[in-house]
A and B are shown apart, each in its own frame.
Chain A
Amino acid sequence: MFRINLNNKIIKKLFIHIILIIALFSSISAFAQNGIIKGKIVSDSSQPVEFALVYLKGTSMGTNCDSKGIFCIHAVKPGKYTVVFAQLGFETVEQLVDVHSDQVHEIVLHTQAKSDQPEIVVTGTQTEKSIQDSPIPVTIITESQIKQMGSMRLSEVLQEQTGLAIINDHGTGIQLQGFNPEYTMIMIDGAPLIGRTAGTFDLSRMTVGNIKQIEIVKGPSSSLYGSEALAGVINIITQEPTEKAGVGLRTRYGTNNTSDVSLDGFFRTKKFSYSAFANRYSTSGYDLVPDTEDKTVPAYHNYTLQQKVAYRFNPRLKASLFARGFFEDQNSNISFSENGIDYKINQVGNQYDWNLLPQISYSLNSNTRLLLKMYSTFYHTSAVMTNIADGSLYDDSYFNQTFNRPELIGSKTWNKKNETILGAGVTFESVSATRYTDKKRFNSTFYYVQHDWKPLSKINIIAGFRYDVHSVYGKQLSPKLSIKYNATKKITFRASVGKGFKAPDFRQLYLNFTNPVAGYSVFGSEEVLAQYTQLEQQGLIAQTFIDPTTLKPITAERSVAINVGWNVDFSKKMNWQLNVFRNDINDMIETSAIAMKTNGQSVYTYYNVSKVFTQGVETNLAYQFHKHFSISAGYQYLIAKNKEVVKDIAEGQYYARDPITYVTSIISEKEYGGLFNRSKHMANFKLFYLNKNTGWSASIRAIYRGRYGFGDMNGNLILDVDNEYVKGYWLANMSVGKTITSWFTLQVGMDNVFNYKNPQYISSIPGRLYYTSLQLKINKK
């Protein structure tokens, strides 16, 4: 993560020199005509405020404090000045100073941390901005919210957010603005996470035990992050040590023997900081259909280990290292029958991934900074299936993915109104797996630039683009323009237009897979011609639907998106947000059968076919109606449709036939329900109670997911009749906690209070869950 601090470390050294010189000069009372203002910023807790900005109102004179909160503004012409202190998270303070020539004016500015501290976000622009100031709308989920919800995994946290729906397809993913999980980039501290199965990054891999906050950017973010950020970005910001030292323990145990234990510790000195985190999660799984032999979700356990080291060599040079590892094992028995033979299989699954992110930041001068990141990550999964009866091997498969990315980012603050970021990097990726012919490699070079301009005090414009050059699928230009306009103190408008793209992934390019049981084959676009020719030569192709030589080469999926919205602060306690969005995506990649084999099974490949749009409105209302109570409501209305289907329906080309009466009718535009798996209506209501005096806290959260299509039932492949929908449902979760002493908190909770289950269509909702949790936290200030 790249953060622009308002600090100016070079000043510190200069400052010492200047003090000496000044001292010399003032002692001999010669030459100097101008005065000096020096001082210190002290917060309410008597802690110095680090690196704050101090300037003289109405002038261009100003400086940054050092790490002790000391500042010095020299060469001030005699006269009356207002010294202004400003720092995110603190009250702005002003003080009048009458500067005389040849005098040093010492002042102490007293400030206090803002009670409603503005939340700082980084994901939208790669620079630190308070959430109100960001022209790019960012949703933030804080640590305290996560704790109050009692959540353990990222998927649990995200499913309660407005506009996000959980999708289960080879793992638990998130649907954002109507896009499938493969279109949303998942990052940890700004580093992209890899290891997707069929496009889904399994969010249950991520623990939320040491998260400072989760930032969600909706709308295309390819202008900064490239491929995968077509729908948006979810960035997990891990905790930084804020105090001198501390240790913490958090445990939770509940239904299905689900246990979650997190241990963390940290310490920091002036120059060095270190934090470590470990988590173990285990569950015995659950069974929604007890009369079958297999469990719906079998038992598994996993570990997460994480650490962060940072060292400040001098005020200009800082280095840090982030390391994370995740390990999961699953052992399960499955039974099925194939061609009349019953199989009982033991499956041993194993997956792990690690991330390593060393970075160095260097300030060339007070307003120019460089950041070098050397990110590398690795993902592995494997499954060994053996027959229980005789121990013979049934199937053995593995998947390895590597991702390495050196990236250099420069930022320059020209003045108070202009700031530019430049970035460039190279990504090296490779995959080797059972389903790939050999080790496959990608590499891509990218450049991006972003300019932040405040032409007027009420207007902030951010414009930027990114250019990706990829070894396989070609070049992509992804521009984005965002504007924020503060109409009044209470009303802010935001608008953005941008292009997003998603590169074809390894699977879509290189998959070489023939199902050993069913006998069908799926080939990536780069493999299909060779594999098809081979099958044809072997006489295994019965019919060809599409000659693979006529297929156009696969290209990236591209989208254009518009987001327009506003934010209204009715009062400090009441806030209303609204965002209208429209995404048009061309060249969506789909699988299609190109030939039939002599065994009657198809040969599939991937190519760009569909044109799709998603549009809707998302709105949130939050109200702190009592000292201890706050309430919030969120709602999303979504329409997501295939444009060709819409066109064909308009021309009367789509029909539905009742499978019992065989009566056929023409489908009207109204009957077309759009893409499968999208809920037109989603809503949430949350009530939080927090009393810091008594230590009690509580929450009740209700989440509604409106009906959505699960699949075609009447042969036309589109969503159009009632029996193709999963009924809408409510999930209600609640928790009660009590902080008994400052370092000890107990919590009990119940998820899915109404015990909603839908074994037929939703295997990921286990029914009502009870849990209890315990937190110990000891910090040294």
Chain B
Amino acid sequence: MSTKIYTNILIACVAILSYSCKDKKEDAPVPASTSTALVVRNLAANPETGGNGHFTFFSLKNNVVVPFTDSATTKWDIAFNATTIITNSGSSGPGTVGVQLYTGLFENLTTAPSTGYIQDATSAYAISTGSANGWYNYNSTTHVISAIPGRAIVIRTNDNTYAKMEILNYYQNAPAAPVNTDVSRYYTFRYVYQSNGTRQF
């Protein structure tokens, strides 16, 4: 099953860029503007029908799904299986990825923190699982999984570049009002990847 990935450049990005450029006036010479905001839709994360039983591995730099056969490499940054997200680090992979959760408005996250990145361990994943712990809320009345508004994941990649990511929907074709009978385990998320090595978005 192939995953269609659409890439959109958001208009908002322009604003963010201009803001970050202004911000860096006093800093050392700025590398060419390199951060882009991307939206990934319908990333299948081992869906109940047609799932492969594996995590789906993803490269933020290249905005592509990395084949399962490359799971033991550093070609991927994060991977998805149902509601669980792992990082290429510690107990999950050979990489050096670090992540941390951010609470606030996505666009207000203009600088990635310099410290505080954690890696996967056998005792706990860096992105905590469970309702309200990590990226999602589970509604025990409707049994719907929804991405927590105002929560982002800040990622330091294998290349020591930074990205910020916000998950938007967990259901196929991102219904505005999902119900528990909708097909789940299809991620829609947006992320901003800064390739120049700075922590500015």
Contacts and interface: CB of A to CB of B under 8 A. Distances in A.
B150 A654 contact: yes
B34 interface: no
Interface string B177-195: 1000000000000100000
A591 B141 CA distance: 10
Nearest to A339: B48
A717 B150 CA distance: 13
Interface string B74-86: 0000000010100
B129 A655 contact: no
B82 A655 contact: no
A600 interface: yes
Interface residues on A, range: 20 to 34
B28 to A, nearest CB: 32
B138 interface: yes
Contacts of B176: 659-660
A545 interface: yes
A655 B146 contact: no
Nearest to B107: A664
A596 B105 CA distance: 29
Contacts of B137: 712, 715-717
Given A656-B149, A657-B149, A712-B146, A545 B190 contact: no
A711 B142 contact: yes
B139 A711 contact: yes
Contacts of A666: 105, 150
Contacts of B150: 653-657, 664, 666, 716
Nearest to A656: B149
A672 to B, nearest CB: 14
Interface string A643-684: 000000000011111011010111000000000000000000
A422 interface: no
Contact of A596 (B130, B142, B151, B166): B130
Nearest to A715: B146
A662 B168 contact: yes
B11 to A, nearest CB: 12
Interface in A391-448: none
B166 to A, nearest CB: 8
A569 to B, nearest CB: 45
Given A600-B82, A655-B105, A664-B106, A543 B149 contact: no
B147 interface: yes
Interface in B125-158: 128-133, 136-143, 146-151
B52 interface: no
A192 to B, nearest CB: 28
A630 B130 CA distance: 58
Contacts of B128: 545
Given A604-B140, A664-B106, 13 more contacts: A543-B84, A543-B129, A596-B129, A653-B150, A655-B105, A655-B150, A656-B150, A659-B176, A664-B149, A666-B105, A714-B149, A717-B132, A717-B137
28 contacts: A543-B129, A543-B130, A545-B128, A545-B129, A545-B131, A545-B133, A592-B131, A593-B138, A596-B129, A596-B130, A602-B138, A604-B140, A657-B147, A657-B149, A657-B150, A659-B169, A662-B190, A664-B105, A664-B106, A666-B105, A666-B150, A711-B141, A715-B136, A715-B146, A715-B147, A716-B148, A716-B149, A716-B150
Interface of A: 518, 543, 545-546, 591-593, 596, 600, 602, 604, 653-657, 659-660, 662, 664-666, 711-717, 723
Interface of B: 82, 84, 103-106, 128-133, 136-143, 146-151, 166, 168-169, 176-177, 190
